[in-house]
Amino acid sequence: MPQVDEHLIDDDIDTSAWDGVPIRLRAAGLRWTPQRRTLVDVLREHQGHVTATELISRCRERDQTTTPSTVYRTLDVLEEFGLVAHGHGHDGREEYHVLPGETHGHLYCEACGRQWEIRPETGAAIVDALAADLGFEVDLSHVTISGHCQGCHD
């Protein structure tokens, strides 16, 4: 298991949030099953955003018996615990934001397909601008803005 004290630029995410999941589930009268463990293992390495479909196939890589319905149902449970949040990505599929505690938005590059996080300050600027506009209260974690990244529009 890697040390957490590495100097990671944009990675102050509390990965250990997942460690408490078994306990939290049981405390709520729910169960910790192999299938849920598989999904959580996959989620651990997917900070940011993933489509349900991708999660399903990643789970399948680890455990052939993984079933879509189980994944969807488990994601619902994890969402109630605030560990993931779902929205819709640029391609219109269910997309899950992992550990949405840090509410940042995403930028999607239509050319290279990569995604980028909107920095907190920039996100705040957007939130403020829209609040001033129509008194709109933005849910930043649901924001995915598409366009072209620096490398692709030069």
The residues of the shown chain that bind DNA, judged by CB under 7 A, are 22, 25-26, 29-36, 51-53, 56, 65-70, 72-74, 77, 93-94
We find the least distance from the C-beta atom of residue 154 to a copy of itself, in angstroms, to be: 8
We find the least distance from the C-beta atom of residue 76 to DNA, in angstroms, to be: 7
| Pairing between β-strand 106-109 and β-strand 94-98 as defined by DSSP bridges | unpaired
CB-based contact 106:144 (threshold 8 Å): yes
Q: What is the DSSP letter of 87?
A: E
Total residues belonging to the chain: 154
Give SS3 for 102.
coil
For tokens 């601008």, name the residue: 129
Kindly state whether residue 137 participates in binding a copy of itself, applying the rule CB under 8 A. Answer: yes
Provide the binding-site residues for a copy of itself, judged by CB under 8 A: 87-94, 107, 109-110, 116, 118-119, 122, 125-126, 129-130, 132-139, 142-143, 145-150, 153
